[in-house]
Amino acid sequence: MDGLGPGDDNSGHTAPAVPQAALKLTGLTKSFGAKHAVNALDLRVEPGEFYALLGPNGAGKTTTLRMAANLLRPDSGSISIFGVDARANPVAAKAITAWLPDEPMLYDKLTPVEYLEFIAGLWNVPPAVAQKRAAVLLDILELGPNRNVRCEGFSRGMKQKVALAGALVHEPRLIMLDEPLTGLDAAIARQVKDLLTARVREGATIILTTHILEVAERLATRIGIVRSGRLVAQGSMAELRAQFGGTASTLEDVFLTLTTGQDAPQ
Amino acid sequence: MIVRPGSFLWLLIHDLRVSSRQLTEVIAHWSPRTAAAFVIGSLIIAHGLAWGAFGLRAANPGLFSANALATGAIGAALWMIAQGLLGATRSLFERGSLELLFASPLAAWKAVASRAVAIAASSFFALAPILLPLANAGALRDDAAWLAVYPLLISMALAGTAVGMMVAIGLFFTVGPRRARQVSQIMAALIAGGFVLVVQIGLLLPKDLAADIIAWGRQLLGGSAGHLEAALSALTSRISLDIATLAVGLLASLVLFVAAVAALSSAFASATLTAASAADGPAKLPTSARPFRQGPGRSLRLKEWRLLVRDPNLFAQLGLQIIYTLPLAVLLLRSPQGIPPAIALTPLIVVLAAQIAASLAWITVSGEDAPELLATAPILPAQAARAKLSAIALPLAVILALPLLALAAVSLQATLCAIAFGTLAACSTALLNVWHPMAGSRRSLLRRHSQSKVIAIAEHGLALLWAITAVVALVELPLALIPMSLIAGILWLFMPKRHAGPGRNGVAAAVAAISGKKPAAC
């Protein structure tokens, strides 16, 4: 997938190349019965961004990411990941993507090393490379002492760290995370945040959903707010403040203004 | 009647409601009329079959002999103990409801007692659909004494639950919380299956050898042998129990049940809370610097093998399946027509291959622990399904190696036939499970058929038809085309019509089933 980076253009035209979006959702729609979970949503995340998708419960954040991760078929709309049409060519899109749900997807009877070996195999990472990456990730996440211990006895935080290592071992260009910090203690949450920030510095793109507004405020380069399946606002923290609050307003003020109609406290 | 919240009765109603919903999960989504028609239809069919069984009694007087009934009663009692043990263990390790109750101001005994009654009720209702129609038909066609099955079944359920609870708690505090679950599951499988195995082995052995073993046993037991035989004889002769004996039995099992609940309440509560924090302690594996393997197919197969090898409970459940197939072998080998061993063993191996392949396919597809992970991996669903199906070939071959070797000693032609049709049977039942995956946990392997009766019937039908095909092929090869055409019809009926080929959407559908969404076929 390396040939699909920004600026690649095989069409022969000489028009200035539009930078390719890491994730581009156009008119994405999904209904469950009469309920519109996602309603003609347009979203563009640029390469190297740390994008936080916020919204109240049932706003359609997870459904949006599940569609982008090929876990749900949209009713209509398109999904493009680094220029790859994810609906027409899901395997190519998945090859450069990682998905981390709120509940870690682990095998209790495998050890962290075996789990990472499995994931690296699925993503066809050369064994020698995968082995090195696995060792580094386990060390960074302080899982080294438990590398050969079956995951069945792990705490939720440890399981989440193993799942995160799995999501990163194939070095995806786009990392999608659904509530990655829910239920983690402060120390583990810090490790996860540091690792994600480091990945963005190295060039990866991250889009995450979270209810912890402080995480979005501190980590995200841009924030999108979803309500009733539609993107109602997006921008950097400063842009959101300028548009919907005041210079002294917090993300919580902006969020409440946009999602519940409450005015920000003066 | 208004039941006071927090009372034992109130809690019991709650537990029974939850248990009944698990039992009736299959029909819960049907309309009341359809569900009622299904229940009434099933009752009529069960009674019809029981009525027919009593009709066969004239042709086969040994069918309901005192010995057969005593054997059945012992088997049912042991099965009830196994169910009690499994139910108690499940309650100990299931976080949630019991933990919530123990954290509430309710007395611990109420929670334990109502859960124990729910376990006993589940055991009772698991055997009731088979045994009660027999009792009703027996009462109408033979003797009213057959109605004794009702109190007998209640006694067994109560006593079985009490014994199961005692064993579960005993194991918890002797082998520790981490091993208790596995040990009790294996023990339950051995209790339930061991009896069947011992009875079948006794029937399979040549008569001279069986007599030698009995003589050796008598010698070993010495003077006790006489007492044991007297006790068994008394049990056999009392199979048509009088009301007083039944009442005493019922009372004794009730006393045992109440005593077990009273004595174990606090231990049960403490074990449940301990299990919540220490259930699955980490098991460290030997460190190895083995290089990683490459490629999705190889990784998937390796993962499946690792998970299979590390799950002793799974082997116990597969072992039970094999044990439950043995009566068929006995029937064939001991038939008055004197069927040659090659003809008798070939269909048995084919049935085993079909059943074990179906179970392994269910484990690897429906029992997949991380379906979303596979759905987001850059592999086609068909590729994943193929890798999973190829992963089950090795354990299947290992399990069937011994019976095939035994058959090879009898007939090479039959062995080749068993391998060929066993492979086809295994592929067909495995495909059925890939085409129609159902969300499930690996632990509930033996209960998988309760998820879809239609698939269960199709699976058994395929196994039977392949067995018939194998026998027919041994006798007159061209005639095997007749059952094979029926098999093709069943497979065509169950093949997913909207997708290109076998396993095309298996994993994706499993993801959908497990996450409760529509198929993710992007």
At A54-75, the pLDDT tens digits run: 999 888 999 999 999 988 889 9
Which residue intervals of B205-242 are DSSP H helices? 207-221, 224-237
A230 has a chain B CB within 8 A of its CB:
no
Mean pLDDT of B437-454: 70
Window 77-96 of A, Cβ < 8 Å to B: 86-87, 90-92, 94-95
pLDDT of res. B447: 66
Distance CA B181, CA B187 (A): 10
pLDDT of res. A3: 35
Please report, to the nearest 10 degrees, the dihedral formed by the alpha carbons of residues B150, B154, B155, B160 taken in order: 140
Instruction: Check CB contact under 8 Å for A152 and B283.
Output: yes
Residue that is written with structure tokens 């402080």 in the block: A214
Identify whether the C-beta of residue A104 lies closer than 8 Å to the C-beta of residue A151: no
In this prediction, residue B520 has a pLDDT band, given cuts at 50, 70 and 90, of very low
Instruction: Check CB contact under 8 Å for A72 and B522.
Output: yes
Using CA atoms, how far residue A243 sits from A2, A220, A237, in Å, is: 38, 18, 10
- A-B contacts at Cβ under 8 angstroms: 134
Q: Best interface-test mutation with B: which of A107, A143, A146, A160 has the largest number of B CBs within 10 A?
A: A107
pLDDT of res. A261: 62
Cα B9-B12-B18 angle, rounded to 5 deg: 145
In this prediction, residue B488 has a pLDDT band, given cuts at 50, 70 and 90, of very high
Measure in Å the smallest separation between the Cα of B459 and chain A Cα atoms: 28
Measure in Å the smallest separation between the Cα of A257 and chain B Cα atoms: 32
pLDDT of res. A7: 36
In this prediction, residue B279 has a pLDDT band, given cuts at 50, 70 and 90, of very low
Mean pLDDT of A151-169: 90
Mean pLDDT of A162-191: 90
Check pLDDT > 80 for residue B457: yes
Residue that is written with structure tokens 């083995």 in the block: B290
pLDDT of res. A221: 93
Q: Minimal CA–CA distance to A81: which of A60, A67, A62?
A: A67
Check pLDDT > 90 for residue A4: no
- A111 CB neighbours in chain B (<8 A) are 285
In this prediction, residue B522 has a pLDDT band, given cuts at 50, 70 and 90, of very low
β-bridge pairing A35-45 and A97-100 = unpaired
ipTM score above 0.85: no
Is the pLDDT higher at B216 or at B91? B91
Identify whether the C-beta of residue B349 lies closer than 8 Å to the C-beta of residue B422: yes
Instruction: Check CB contact under 8 Å for A73 and B521.
Output: yes
pLDDT of res. B505: 44
- Strand pairing partners for B391? none
Is the pLDDT higher at B215 or at A171? A171
Mean pLDDT of chain B, nearest integer: 78
Check pLDDT > 80 for residue B401: yes
Check pLDDT > 90 for residue A207: yes
Question: Residue B484 carries which side chain, given as an amino acid letter?
Answer: M
Mean pLDDT of B294-303: 88
The DSSP output letter for B519 is -
Lowest pLDDT segment from A77-86, A113-122, B135-144: B135-144
Q: What is the DSSP string of chain A?
A: -GGGSTT---S---SPPPPPPSEEEEEEEEEETTEEEEEEEEEEE-TT-EEEEE--TTSSHHHHHHHHTTSS--SEEEEEETTEETTT-HHHHHHTEEEE-SS----TTS-HHHHHHHHHHHTT--HHHHHHHHHHHHHHTT-GGGTTB-GGG--HHHHHHHHHHHHHTT--SEEEEESTTTT--HHHHHHHHHHHHHHHHTT-EEEEE-S-HHHHHHH-SEEEEEETTEEEEEE-HHHHHHHHS-TT--HHHHHHHHHH-PPPP-
In this prediction, residue B290 has a pLDDT band, given cuts at 50, 70 and 90, of confident
Measure in Å the smallest separation between the Cα of A115 and chain B Cα atoms: 8
Identify whether the C-beta of residue A150 lies closer than 8 Å to the C-beta of residue A107: no
- B311 CB neighbours in chain A (<8 A) are 109
Q: Which of A72, A114, A134 sits opposite B520 (nearest CB)?
A: A72
- B511 CB neighbours in chain A (<8 A) are 71
- B286 CB neighbours in chain A (<8 A) are 148
pLDDT of res. A9: 39
Check pLDDT > 60 for residue B63: yes
Lowest pLDDT segment from A116-120, A261-265, B199-203, B442-446: A261-265
> What three-state secondary structure class fits B280?
coil
Per-residue pLDDT tens over the stretch A43-57: 999 999 999 999 998
Per-residue pLDDT tens over the stretch B213-259: 666 766 666 666 666 566 655 555 555 557 777 788 889 999 999 99
Per-residue pLDDT tens over the stretch A76-102: 999 999 999 999 999 999 999 999 998
Q: Best interface-test mutation with B: which of A84, A105, A174 has the largest number of B CBs within 10 A?
A: A105
pTM of structure: 0.69
Check pLDDT > 60 for residue A16: no
pLDDT of res. A184: 81
Residue A225 tokens read as: 């707010």
- A121 CB neighbours in chain B (<8 A) are 292-296, 298-300, 302
pLDDT of res. B500: 41
Instruction: Check CB contact under 8 Å for A123 and B294.
Output: no
Mean pLDDT of A187-201: 91
Q: How many CB atoms lie within 10 A of CB B223?
A: 6
Is the pLDDT higher at B211 or at A188? A188
Is the pLDDT higher at B442 or at B481? B481
In this prediction, residue A10 has a pLDDT band, given cuts at 50, 70 and 90, of very low
Mean pLDDT of B149-172: 91
β-bridge pairing A23-32 and A35-45 = antiparallel
Distance CA B513, CA B509 (A): 6
- A98 CB neighbours in chain B (<8 A) are 376
Q: Minimal CA–CA distance to A173: which of A141, A140, A206, A195?
A: A206
Check pLDDT > 90 for residue B428: yes
Distance CA A108, CA B134 (A): 44
Residue A263 tokens read as: 């005015």
Check pLDDT > 70 for residue B95: no
In this prediction, residue B291 has a pLDDT band, given cuts at 50, 70 and 90, of confident
Distance CA A191, CA A142 (A): 9
pLDDT of res. A168: 93
Q: Which of B284, B310, B376 sits opposite A149 (nearest CB)?
A: B284
Distance CA A237, CA A225 (A): 12
pLDDT of res. A266: 40
Lowest pLDDT segment from B184-188, B252-256, B361-365, B407-411: B184-188
Contacts of B469 (CB under 8 A, 6+ apart): B350, B421, B480, B483, B484, B487
Is the pLDDT higher at B445 or at A224? A224
Window 358-397 of B, Cβ < 8 Å to A: 369-370, 372-380
Check pLDDT > 70 for residue B511: no
Instruction: Count CA atoms within 13 Å of residue B7 on its CB side.
Output: 7
- A123 CB neighbours in chain B (<8 A) are 377-378
